[in-house]
Amino acid sequence: MTLKPAALVPHFLIPFLLLPALLSAAGSGGINAPDQRDKPYLILISIDGLGWDARGRTDTPALDSLAERGVVARSMQPVWPSLTFPNHYSIATGLYPSQHGLVGNHFASADRQGWYTTGNRDEVENPVWYAGEPIWVSAEKAGMVSAAYFFVGTEAPVQGIQPSHFFLFDSSVTGQRRVEQAIEWLSLPEDRRPHMIALYFEHVDEASHDHGPSAPETAAVIRQVDNYIATLLEGIEELPFGDEVYVIVVADHGQSAYLAPDEAYVLSEHVDIGEARIVQGGNYVLLYYDDPDAAAIDELVSGINRTWEHGRAYARAETPRHWRVTDDGRYPDVFIQAELGHAVITDEASRGAIHEGAHGWPPDSVGMGASFIAAGGRLPRGVEIGEIHVVDVYPLMLEILELPTPQGYEAEPSELGGILLSE
């Protein structure tokens, strides 16, 4: 799933909509405080859908170069659900969905009276959905200018704060333009120059959905995005302070192909789901009931699990512990999750939910692992570490930017902890 608004913004409005955000007094106001001007610079790059194994499918000289002079994780495990919005926001906050609020791409409010959907711009920009403290808010609160060219959460005033510079998502903006803007930001005078920049590229995810993760068309798109990274790295090298710039490349999840899409488990052929509001993605079905009945839910879950070989249904309280699901009403009442490579749909009319490539399978499935590459000043060179988790990125970013840890936040142990070398 990529970041898509309900409709394209009219072209005549774009110059006005792309102006820097008006910040609350708690932000930097677009000016770096004197004590922030000597801090390092960090560019966080998300390549949506770039799995841990994607670089092995084609030539990626820019990403390979970054890996050779930095740190590479064998894989980075997403949170449940392995979808775009919850994982991007977990990267940005270091929190799990149950903590930061984005429990899916499409989900109900706790009272079931409202819905968050990625295509509803009013909801995407509504701060009521977002908890935690994303890295750009941490920066702005410290008096450090931040910027973003598309990243989940930057379009809403979280804690009343947004990046000093940000853009409303528009897929017609080329990756090249996004990179050029990042270099332009870094070329500003030091009092206005962002120290924290987030960039987002949706192209690999889209190609993987349309053609499959191993298709030649997807490989071509990976090479294209690698070219964007090459342009960015070249621009950084030309800066007089280029050695002070850290680059972290992440993905929100990997991508896999369906093994036998024609053999999808069709719920309507086995059970009656009743009057439910349905969220489905081809490999999962989530059911929300206005008046959930525990006995009926138990019967439904049991019926599915008796008749399905390649997946499992759960009542909310029975979900796997590592999914970290709570009793929050934003979560569905019934979770129906296919095993990696397998499909589940509500009925035959829903087969359109099955694409050539997908994510949304269990986050600990090998095919859902994401990429992580980081390079810069105090990071060791040419080091490969084991599997990390998307929530491990945030504390590393705090440490790089020398920002205070938010009150109440505690990082989990990971191989990224203590990885920065002494100055």
pLDDT at 58 over 90: yes
Nearest residue to 392 (alpha-carbon basis) of 68, 48, 79? 79
pLDDT tens, position by position, 291-302 = 999 999 999 999
pLDDT tens, position by position, 114-147 = 999 999 999 999 999 999 999 999 999 999 999 9
Other beta carbons within 10 Å of 403: 19
pLDDT tens, position by position, 301-314 = 999 999 999 999 99
Single-letter code of the amino acid located at 28? S
Instruction: Give the pLDDT score at 334.
Output: 98
pLDDT > 70 in the chain, percent: 94
pLDDT at 370 over 60: yes
**Pairwise CA distance, residues 89 & 105, whole Å:** 11
Instruction: Give the pLDDT score at 282.
Output: 97
Kindly report the pTM of this predicted structure.
0.93
Residue whose entry in the numeric block shows the structure tokens 């820097």 = 20
- What 3-state DSSP class applies to 14? helix
**Pairwise CA distance, residues 127 & 320, whole Å:** 29
Across the strands, what pairs with 288? 277
pLDDT at 25 over 80: no
**Total H helices, total E strands in the chain:** 11, 20
pLDDT at 323 over 90: yes
pLDDT at 381 over 80: yes
Instruction: Give the pLDDT score at 120.
Output: 95
- Contacts of residue 239, Cβ cutoff 8 Å, sequence gap at least 6: 186, 187, 245
State residue 315 phi and psi, 5-degree precision.
-75, 160
**Pairwise CA distance, residues 173 & 179, whole Å:** 11
Read off the tokens for 35.
């004590």
Mean pLDDT of the chain: 93
